Amino acid sequence: MSKMKNTCPAALLPAVLTLMVGAHAEDAPTALDTLVVEATEQPAPQTQYVAPSTVITDYEAEGINYTTVEDLVRYEPSLIIRRRYIGDSNGVVGIRGSNMFQTARALVYADGLPLHYLLETRWNGAPRWGLVAADEMQSAEVIYGPFSAEYSGNAMGGVINITTKQPTQRTFHAEAAFMLQDYDDYGADDTYTGHREFLSYGDRFDDVSLYLFHNHLDNDGQPQSFRSRAVTAPVGGETVVTGAISGLDSVGNDVVWVGDTGSARTVTDLTKLKVGYDFGEWSSRFTLAFENRDWETRPDNYLRDATGNPIWSGAAVFAGQRFTINPSHFAVSDQNRQTVLLGLGLEGPLAATGWMLDANMSWHDVMKDETRSSDRNPSDPAYTTDGSVTDYGDTGWLTLDLKARNERFMGRDDLNLLVGYHFDHYSLAIDNYDSADYTSGAKTARTTSTGGETRTHALFAQLGWDFIPHWDVALGARYERWETIDGYYYRYNTMTFNDFADRSETGISPKFSLGFDPDGPWHFRYSLAKAYRFPIVEELYHNANSILGTTIANATLDPEVGVHHNLSIEREIPRGFARVNLYHERIKDAIWSQTDVTSVPTVTTFLPVDEVTTSGVELVVQQDRVFEVPLDVRFNVAYTDSEVTKNDADPSVEGNVFPRMPKWRANLLGTWHVSPKLDTSLGLRYASDSYGNLDNSDKVDQVYGAQDKYLFVDVKANYQVTPAAKIALGIDNLTDEVAFVAHPWPQRTFYVQGSVDF
């Protein structure tokens, strides 16, 4: 199938209509569980004045098969989370015109504390979802675009604000889940299982609230990488093998597939304590979270000789095609990461001034992040304990946010003002070692060291004015001073030591929004914003070697500069709304990992794409009790056209579709309240195919490395056994569709879940 067919995902539309005109069932909706927790009180988001947003509550999310918190927002408009398997630490997020590998363009907060990982990008830049448990979430708001001055240009795609629960009375909650996936593709054919346990205690003592929990997840996911080798004509002397698989790679080259990385085994433990203290009209928040994550790969070798023994290296022939076996493709690897997050928050009125203050401080520290890898597979006759160790040193961040708002600025009901200050300090340090005994983590000889720091100070203000009846305007600006500090790249084998000069940049980002709310159900808003997205440490300083060649960082990168437009047209409908958003953005110096064809030899690096232009339209419909039947529906569909409009480094890619940007995305989540005790839900997730390469050369579908279209069908049933006990059964990817997002998406997965409050 050819790429990028501009076909509307019409398959979803009949499903929506079917749900909306479905047969009558009992009129009584499912009764809500007795609430023993409530959302941590937060200021009303100022962004509701200037940017489109959607909100999903924990009650609405009950129709989703979830194991981790990112699952709960996967049906939201114009949003994709690449959660490749349960427990995936690389669950990168893409929103609107920012693809899933442009991770520095999406901000994620939990109770005002940052989860976004503005140290690395691409697959390593996923938010630290594991610091929030799915059972902890009360609601999640998705804000689209950088239209509010309170957020940096890292909100070019959008912002996910998670609000978590805080107890109002004593409660114990226990939950357990079991997951099972049958996976069959290439040479992998196995059943992968996992389980999750959650136990929490909450209480309130007068003005003090306490919430303590532990979340444990142990899961085996399907293989994430499949190993291929280029083929040539035999020359004689090769070993004849069986078990290989002939095929094509994503760009159409003939290859043989020789193995995979084996089960993606992940074990995570999250322990978290939250304490709230109210004094007068003020409230304070304390959060302490510790996550321990273990991950391992044990590759599978498909190749066998005439006697059935595995072949680990050398030249081989399969089906008349010659190839060379790379023994490192079967190397094993183990990673342990330990992370701590400390958060402090304070909120309250400044006497009788009319001002409300909200302050948040966060400290995130990677206490340990060590990966131990062998050079060869332990079953390889040539195996020794030689290998390598990668160790993250001084890595983490410190942030501070101070916001003050006045809903009656200057004593006027028609004016409101938000002002604030932001500070962040990010640090990344990575050391690589040769190891004579990787199993013990021996650091025999350091090979490279790379890292550096960034720091940002920002001031912002946003004024809202209801200047005449039915009309309002918001004017804002954000000033940022960004600095790089102590960047370095050391290569000990060549005694090459590069220290990069510190540098600084400043930017002022104006914001404008005009709203019209006539009498009646219609609402209109146009928003315009400029945004600066400053480079992060990996893009500047993280140098490494790639199997495709040398990959280097770029310490001279300029900030991305975007101009963003959004026109929102919304109509209220009974118990819901229908909204159309038209959006357009033009990003200059878009940072992307690409190959500079003007360099000899070619070098893969973080180079700016001179200009990327994206236009799109999205339809969002949400309604409870559709046609007065006990059916709740959340539906959205988006069309996005993202194009490289200028690229001096390689003009041949001008006019190409920007990578990982499907033309169409659509989601449906419908819940039928069968009875006060039973809910059934249907979810559909659709994306058209896209490209992974800037040159759009990857045109082959249904292979490892492709960016496939998919339509995943998910179902779930929740049953309230007693007021305190609930069970749930669910299936993701009911039709067992095979699709790749470079790596494989999960195939049909079963869920069994039970919970009890006591």
- Which class for 17: exposed (0-12), middle (13-18), buried (19 or more C-beta within 10 A)? exposed
The C-alpha atoms of residue 312 and residue 326 are separated, in whole angstroms, by 8
Based on the fold, state whether residues 345 and 403 are members of the same structural domain: yes
**pLDDT the model gives residue 606:** 83
Average pLDDT value for residue range 747-752: 98
The answer to whether residues 431 and 388 belong to one domain is: yes
pLDDT computed for residue 346 by the predictor:
97
Q: Residue 604: what pLDDT?
A: 67
Mean pLDDT of 511-528: 96
Q: Could you give the CA distance from residue 17 to residue 600 in angstroms, rounded to a whole number?
A: 57
Mean pLDDT for 373-390 is 96
> How far is residue 521's CA from residue 346's CA, in Å, rounded to a whole number?
37
* DSSP structural state of residue 19: H
Model confidence at 553, pLDDT cuts 50, 70, 90, reads confident
Residues 106 and 189 placed together within one structural domain of the fold: yes
> Distances from the Cα of 45 to the Cαs of 53, 143, 404, 463, 478, in angstroms?
10, 10, 12, 14, 17
Instruction: Give the residue ranges of DSSP H helices in 113-223.
Output: none
Are residues 336 and 220 part of one domain?
yes
Distance (Å, whole) CA 25 – CA 67: 30
526 with 646, same domain: the answer is yes
SS3 assignment for 175-196: EEEEEEEEEEECCEEEEEEEEE
Confidence at 24, pLDDT banded by 50, 70, 90:
very low
Whether 4 has a pLDDT exceeding 60, the answer reads no
Q: Quick one: pLDDT at residue 743? A: 95
**Interval 749-753 mean pLDDT:** 98
CB-based contact 73:132 (threshold 8 Å):
no
pLDDT for the residue 30: 38
Q: Which two tokens stand for residue 24?
A: 């009558």
Same domain as 622, residue 592? yes
| Mean pLDDT in residue range 523-547 | 89
> Which residue matches tokens 């303590």?
212
- 39's tokens: 């959302």
> Mean of the pLDDT values across residues 60-78?
97
Q: Which of 330, 353, 377 is the last residue of a domain?
A: 330
Residues 6+ apart with CB under 8 A from 324: 229, 314, 315, 316
| pLDDT, mean of residues 602-609 | 76
5 domain residue, yes or no: no
Residues 563 and 702 in one domain: yes
707 domain residue, yes or no: yes
Q: Are 579 and 717 within one domain?
A: yes
What DSSP string runs through 635-698? EEEEEEEEEEEE-TT-GGGTTPBPTT--SEEEEEEEEEE-SSSEEEEEEEEEE--B-SSTT---
DSSP bridge partners of 361? 344, 400
Residues 237 and 281 placed together within one structural domain of the fold: no
Least confident of 18-27, 343-352, 497-506, 658-667: 18-27
Of residues 152, 132, 130, 134, the one with CA closest to residue 143: 152
Residues 559 and 582 in one domain: yes
Instruction: Tell me if residue 136 falls in helix, strand or coil.
Output: helix
Can you name the residues that pair with 54 across neighbouring β-strands? 142
DSSP at 150: T
For 518, the domain range is 12-225+261-298+331-757
pLDDT over 70 at 448, yes or no: yes
Number of domains comprising the chain: 2
Residue 402 is predicted with a pLDDT of: 98
Q: Give the percent of the chain with pLDDT over 90.
A: 88
Residue 607 binned pLDDT confidence (cut-offs 50, 70, 90): confident
Q: Among 19-23, 59-63, 67-71, 713-717, which is the least confidently predicted range?
A: 19-23
pLDDT band at 649 (very low <50, low <70, confident <90, very high): confident
Lowest-confidence pick of 29-33, 407-411, 659-663: 29-33
In the structure encoding, which two tokens stand for residue 182, read together? Answer: 């049958």
How much is the mean pLDDT over the chain? 91
- What is the model's pLDDT at position 19? 38
The 3-state DSSP class for residue 370 equals: strand
Same domain, 390 and 347: yes
Q: Domain boundary at 309, 330, 351, which? A: 330
Query: pLDDT tens digits, residue range 252-275?
Result: 999 999 999 999 999 999 999 999
Do 324 and 386 lie in a common domain? no
Q: What percent of the chain has pLDDT over 70?
A: 91
Confidence of residue 702 (pLDDT cuts 50, 70, 90): very high
Per-residue pLDDT, averaged over 675-703, amounts to 96
Backbone φ/ψ region at 181: left (φ over 0), alpha (ψ -120 to 50), beta: beta
Q: Residue 536 maps to which CATH number?
A: 2.40.170.20
Condensed to tens digits (0 to 9), the pLDDT of residues 663-678 reads 999 999 999 999 999 9
In a domain, 256, yes or no: yes
Burial (CB count <10 Å: 0-12, 13-18, 19+), residue 86:
buried
pLDDT in tens, 479-519: 999 999 999 999 998 999 999 999 999 999 999 999 999 99
**What is the pLDDT, as a whole number, of residue 550?**
61
Number of H helices, E strands in the chain: 2, 43
- Does residue 6 lie within any of the structural domains? no
Contact present, 179 and 194 (Cβ < 8 Å): yes
Element (H, E) at 538: helix 537-541
Ranking 40-54, 304-318, 352-366, 680-694 by mean pLDDT, the lowest is 40-54
On the question of pLDDT at 32 being above 60, the answer is no
Q: Has residue 469 been placed in a domain?
A: yes
| pLDDT for the residue 580 | 98
Structure tokens at 504: 């600084």
Query: Residue 7: is its pLDDT beyond 60?
Result: no
Cβ-based burial of 186 (10 A; exposed 0-12, middle 13-18, buried ≥19): buried
* Token pair in block for residue 102: 């442009």
